[in-house]
């Protein structure tokens, strides 16, 4: 085993980041499949910006960042979901307004109270140093809840993702499952943004799903593949950022981009070699 | 008065308060075969969505009786409404029709899997069960959605232009299947169709829409009425112009 990996495990903060990051990556990738297919990717992005604003304000006020941010982002998730569901033409613009507004409020608040400092930088781009022991425990418990709920209701989440009208017409409470998806995404984003940063966390939701869809044909295989890709990319990204002294969040996103390119290339070759085109999700 | 399966009173539907179809007064009883006809844009799809509670009425109400619940109904949406390019296997899609029978925490039982298999066999898509829905032709996709609706239905099938995308032979078989469901299983059928045989031979009742209810009554009365000329005269045109 390379030395740097052995060294890695000497540091508690790295082990904490590993545990939290891995569970958050898994949750994000599972939820991501539904969010991308339901064209709700914007919600993920919006939530991370709301999360930034709320983290910044909580820190400036000296409150516990996680305890303040979780409920705020969950509320925002309901709001953004309603905006998306209402199907109004300017839904995406409304979401962009809310997300940039929260960013701006957060930056202003922090610069007035404590001055622009490393906190802002860390919230935007993530830091593996940021997790305290209690954060880790909370994160692991919440991730376990996300993963459990997702697996229990997997079939209904599939039905609501594939054809919401049919699901509703035959008596599935689609609204409840959309809300469940929104809440689970909110929790996952809050947990993940400490490591990944507010600007980068939504990539954990979007990339693995899109990558898996390049090659996989069934919902189950897309879901499982996305989870594996997400976990692997996180591990590779974390170790290489540590070995090469690169920013963790950005490294993980780049590894995800490489995976996406790799899968696209394989899909391209496959369709050209067999002559059969593999239709792809936009 | 004996309660009907579905009764509509002064019902109207629309989008954003713009009325699309209104003045609806009719009732459907167990075992009925109701054909809904009308030009494109006359509000047929909108009415079906309203019956299924996917959109709320602007006025009036849909009254369900005789213990009918949404989980007893199989629904075949108009094809354009289902996402294209979605990664799902045929089996996954068909099985999801059984969800309305599963418990709060959903698991598919052996019976559900057998039911899904039977319906795939019935629709001639059993060989495709591991294929990806997005790689199928329009006609094959339609059969997958039909199999899903058959899994969901135990008292009523609501179908929006089920034969669109099917070739004549298959659509002939489909109408035979629907007739059989209606006659043998006493399944109540509500169908939007431009197929002249379906409407004038199989249906027990006809509802003719044009933004409002032009005609509602038995097939015999419909054939005698002036409205049936639309179907006879525009026959070839309508079959081509289905959307
Ligand atoms: N989601 C929608 N939002 C607004 N208007 C709609 C919507 N769906 C249909 N319409 C309008 O309602 C009218 C009736 O449409 P529809 O019920 O689909 O007719 P049909 O199924 O008989 O062809 C049309 O004028 C159509 O433009
Ligand atoms: Mg229609």
CATH number at residue B17: 3.40.50.300
Q: Which of A109-118, A175-184, A191-200, B198-207 has the lowest mean pLDDT?
A: A109-118
Average pLDDT score over residue span A91-98: 85
| Contact status, residue B65 vs residue B3, Cβ threshold 8 Å | yes
C-alpha dist (Å) from residue A159 to A155, B83, B106, B166? 6, 12, 11, 25
Q: pLDDT for B141-174, tens place per residue?
A: 999 999 999 999 999 999 999 998 888 888 888 8
Q: Which of A141-150, B37-46, B215-224, B227-236 has the lowest mean pLDDT?
A: B227-236
- Please tell me the total count of domains within chain B: 1
Q: What's the number of CA atoms in the CB half-sphere (13 Å) around residue B53?
A: 16
* 8 Å CB contact of A162 and B87: no
| Contact status, residue B159 vs residue B179, Cβ threshold 8 Å | no
Q: Check pLDDT > 50 for residue A270.
A: yes
Q: Distance from A180 to chain B by nearest Cα, in Å?
A: 14
Average pLDDT score over residue span A198-220: 94
- Chain B contact for A162, CB < 8 A? yes
Q: Check pLDDT > 70 for residue B112.
A: yes
Which residues are within 8 A (CB) of A164 and not within 5 positions of it... i.e. 6 or more apart? A38, A174, A178
Cα B43 to ligand 2 centre (Å): 7
* 8 Å CB contact of B87 and A213: yes
Q: pLDDT for A5-59, tens place per residue?
A: 777 777 788 888 899 999 999 999 999 999 999 888 888 999 999 999 998 888 8
Place B238 in a pLDDT band, splitting at 50, 70 and 90.
Answer: very low
Is B93 within the bounds of a domain?
no
Q: How long is chain B?
A: 243
State the pLDDT at residue B236: 45
| Contact status, residue A191 vs residue A130, Cβ threshold 8 Å | no
Q: pLDDT for B46-91, tens place per residue?
A: 999 999 999 999 999 999 999 898 889 999 998 766 677 799 999 9
For ligand 1, pick from B15, B38, B57, B214 the residue to mutate: most ligand atoms within 8 Å of CB.
B15
Is B112 within the bounds of a domain?
no
Is B118 within the bounds of a domain?
no
Average pLDDT score over residue span B218-236: 79
State the pLDDT at residue B196: 81
Q: Check pLDDT > 50 for residue A3.
A: yes
How many beta carbons lie within 10 A of that of residue A10, not counting itself?
Answer: 8
Distance from C-alpha of A208 to C-alpha of A230, rounded to nearest angstrom: 6
Distance from C-alpha of A203 to C-alpha of A196, rounded to nearest angstrom: 9
Asked if residue B70 has its Cβ within 6 Å of ligand 1, the reply is: no
State the pLDDT at residue B24: 94
Q: Check pLDDT > 50 for residue B240.
A: no
Which residue segment(s) compose the domain that A47 sits in?
A: 3-280
Is B208 within the bounds of a domain?
yes
DSSP 8-state assignment for residue B54: S
State the pLDDT at residue B243: 41
| Contact status, residue A58 vs residue A65, Cβ threshold 8 Å | yes
Q: pLDDT for A136-173, tens place per residue?
A: 888 899 899 999 999 999 999 999 999 999 999 888 88
Is B219 within the bounds of a domain?
yes
- In chain B, what residues touch A222 (CB-CB under 8 Å)? 87
The protein residue whose alpha carbon is closest to atom 5 in ligand 1 is: B15
Asked if residue B162 has its Cβ within 6 Å of ligand 1, the reply is: no
How many beta carbons lie within 10 A of that of residue B28, not counting itself?
Answer: 24
Average pLDDT score over residue span B36-43: 92
Helix axes A65-85, A41-61, angle to 10 degrees: 150
Is B81 within the bounds of a domain?
no
Interface confidence (ipTM) of the complex:
0.88
Distance from C-alpha of B239 to C-alpha of B199, rounded to nearest angstrom: 13
Pairing of strands B73-76, B156-160: parallel
Average pLDDT score over residue span B199-205: 89
Dihedral, B184, B189, B191, B197 alpha carbons, nearest 10: 40
Asked if residue B15 has its Cβ within 6 Å of ligand 1, the reply is: yes
State the pLDDT at residue A212: 97
State the pLDDT at residue A282: 45
Where is pLDDT greater, at A85 or A31?
A31
Pairing of strands B33-37, B205-209: parallel
Q: Distance from B159 to chain A by nearest Cα, in Å?
A: 12
* 8 Å CB contact of A162 and B74: no
State the pLDDT at residue B237: 44
The protein residue whose alpha carbon is closest to atom 16 in ligand 1 is: B43
Average pLDDT score over residue span A205-224: 96
C-alpha dist (Å) from residue B239 to A211, B164, B169, B213? 41, 9, 14, 22
* 8 Å CB contact of B93 and A217: no
- Chain A contact for B233, CB < 8 A? no
Q: Which of A17-26, A113-122, A271-280, B214-223 has the lowest mean pLDDT?
A: A271-280
**Burial letters for A56-65: b for 16+ Cβ neighbours within 10 Å, e otherwise?**
bbbbbeeeeb
Distance from C-alpha of B87 to C-alpha of A185, rounded to nearest angstrom: 21
Is B25 within the bounds of a domain?
yes
Place B242 in a pLDDT band, splitting at 50, 70 and 90.
Answer: very low
Q: What is the CATH number of the domain that holds A148?
A: 1.10.3470.10
Q: Return phi, psi of residue B131, to 5°.
A: -75, 160
Which residues are within 8 A (CB) of B117 and not within 5 positions of it... i.e. 6 or more apart? B126, B129
State the pLDDT at residue B125: 94
Structure tokens at B179: 């007739």
Q: Which of A112-126, A210-224, B15-29, B89-103 has the lowest mean pLDDT?
A: A112-126
The protein residue whose alpha carbon is closest to atom 20 in ligand 1 is: B41
The protein residue whose alpha carbon is closest to atom 12 in ligand 1 is: B20
- Please tell me the total count of domains within chain A: 1
Which residue segment(s) compose the domain that B212 sits in?
A: 1-68+194-243
- Chain A contact for B26, CB < 8 A? no
Is B138 within the bounds of a domain?
no
Distance from C-alpha of B176 to C-alpha of B182, rounded to nearest angstrom: 10
| Contact status, residue B184 vs residue B118, Cβ threshold 8 Å | no
């Amino acid at each position: 085993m390379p030395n740097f990996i052995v060294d890695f495990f000497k540091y508690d903060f790295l082990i904490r980041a590993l545990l939290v990051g891995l569970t958050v990556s898994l949750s994000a990738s599972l939820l991501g499949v539904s969010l991308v297919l339901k064209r709700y990717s914007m919600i993920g992005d919006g939530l991370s910006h709301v999360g930034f604003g709320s983290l910044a304000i909580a820190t400036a006020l000296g409150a516990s960042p996680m305890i303040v941010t979780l409920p705020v982002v969950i509320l925002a998730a309901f709001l953004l979901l309603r905006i998306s569901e209402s199907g109004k033409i300017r839904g995406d613009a409304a979401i962009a307004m809310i997300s940039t507004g929260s960013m701006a409020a957060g930056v202003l608040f922090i610069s007035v109270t404590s001055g622009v400092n490393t906190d802002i930088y860390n919230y935007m781009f993530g830091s593996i140093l940021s997790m305290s022991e209690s954060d880790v425990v909370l994160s692991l418990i919440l991730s376990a809840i996300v993963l459990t709920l997702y697996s229990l209701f997997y079939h209904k989440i599939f039905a609501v993702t594939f054809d919401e009208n049919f699901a509703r017409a035959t008596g599935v409470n689609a609204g409840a499952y959309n809300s469940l998806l929104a809440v689970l995404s909110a929790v996952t984003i809050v947990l993940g943004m400490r490591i990944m940063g507010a600007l980068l966390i939504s990539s954990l939701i979007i990339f693995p799903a899109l990558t898996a869809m390049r090659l996989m044909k069934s919902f189950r295989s897309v879901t499982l593949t996305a989870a594996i890709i997400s976990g692997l990319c996180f591990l590779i990204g974390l170790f290489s950022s540590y070995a090469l002294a690169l920013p963790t969040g950005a490294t993980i996103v780049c590894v995800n981009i490489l995976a996406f390119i790799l899968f696209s290339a394989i899909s391209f070759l496959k369709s050209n070699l067999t002559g059969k085109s593999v239709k792809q999700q936009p | 008065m004996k309660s009907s399966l579905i009764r509509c009173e002064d019902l109207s539907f629309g989008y954003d308060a713009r009325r699309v179809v209104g003045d609806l007064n009719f009732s459907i009883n167990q075992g009925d075969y109701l054909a809904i006809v009308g030009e494109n844009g006359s509000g047929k799809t909108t009415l079906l969505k309203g019956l299924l509670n996917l959109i709320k009425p602007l006025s009036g109400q849909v009254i369900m009786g005789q213990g009918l619940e949404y989980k007893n109904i199989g629904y075949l949406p108009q094809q354009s409404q289902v996402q294209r390019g979605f990664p799902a296997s045929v089996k996954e899609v068909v099985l999801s029709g059984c969800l309305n029978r599963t418990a709060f925490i959903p698991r598919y039982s052996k019976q559900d899997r057998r039911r899904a298999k039977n319906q795939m066999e019935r629709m001639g898509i059993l060989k495709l069960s591991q294929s990806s829905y997005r790689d199928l032709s329009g006609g094959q996709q339609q059969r997958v959605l039909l199999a899903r609706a058959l899994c969901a239905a135990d008292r009523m099938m609501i179908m929006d232009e089920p034969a669109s995308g099917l070739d004549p032979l298959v659509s002939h078989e489909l109408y035979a299947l629907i007739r059989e469901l209606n006659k043998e299983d006493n399944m109540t059928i509500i169908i939007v169709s431009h197929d002249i045989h379906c409407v004038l031979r199989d249906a027990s009742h006809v509802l003719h829409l044009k933004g409002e209810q032009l005609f509602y009554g038995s097939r015999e009365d419909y054939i005698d009425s002036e409205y049936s000329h639309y179907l006879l005269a525009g026959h070839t045109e309508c079959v081509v112009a289905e959307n």
